[in-house]
Structure 1
């Protein structure tokens, strides 16, 4: 999993580190359910406005969507 958290999107180092910490923890908890693929998470400005709980819920939805089999 890769993380891209530009200063332009989340201004403070504290905010960037919080975002990365929450994403890593969420990924760690869902890793067994995900397919063996590479994932890149890119932060957007609105991510800094979310609480940890809201960010976890959003990431859970995204991991669930990515864990579904692709329509080949």
Structure 2
């Protein structure tokens, strides 16, 4: 069974990591209430960063729920995701989605990201 943890090596940790993705994103994938930007990295494994502003999601409990669900989703799919740095940004209204809908949105987001990444490499 593969390692299903979420160690520091799977996270974007500092402003430089985020800037690297924002400056020139190779892939852009939209979902309901969220958007993911991705850029190829040299680690060969996905790394995740999250941007959830107070302007878009007012309550801390809602921001934390969104971040927790996104991290869990990436943790479970880390073997399928390509070697990219991913920044997931929350949009207005994401807090209105229930957990099941959010899981479906994230599953579709990762499928589209994998499809676009494989198309970009061929």
Map of 1:1-72 to 2, 5 A cutoff?
1-68=48-115, 69-71=118-120, 72=122
In the alignment, structure 1 segments of 5+ residues that lack a partner are none
* Mapped partners of 1:70, 1:7: distance in 2: 35
Write 1 or 2 for the structure with the bigger share of strand: 2
Deviation at 1:8, TM superposition (A): 0.3
In the alignment, structure 2 segments of 5+ residues that lack a partner are 1-47
Q: Larger relative contact order (C-alpha < 8 A, sep ≥ 6)? A: 1
TM-score normalised by length of structure 2: 0.57
Q: Which has the larger radius of gyration?
A: 2
RMSD: 0.9
Deviation at 1:70, TM superposition (A): 2.1
Write 1 or 2 for the structure with the bigger share of helix: 1
Displacement over 4 Å in runs of 4+: none
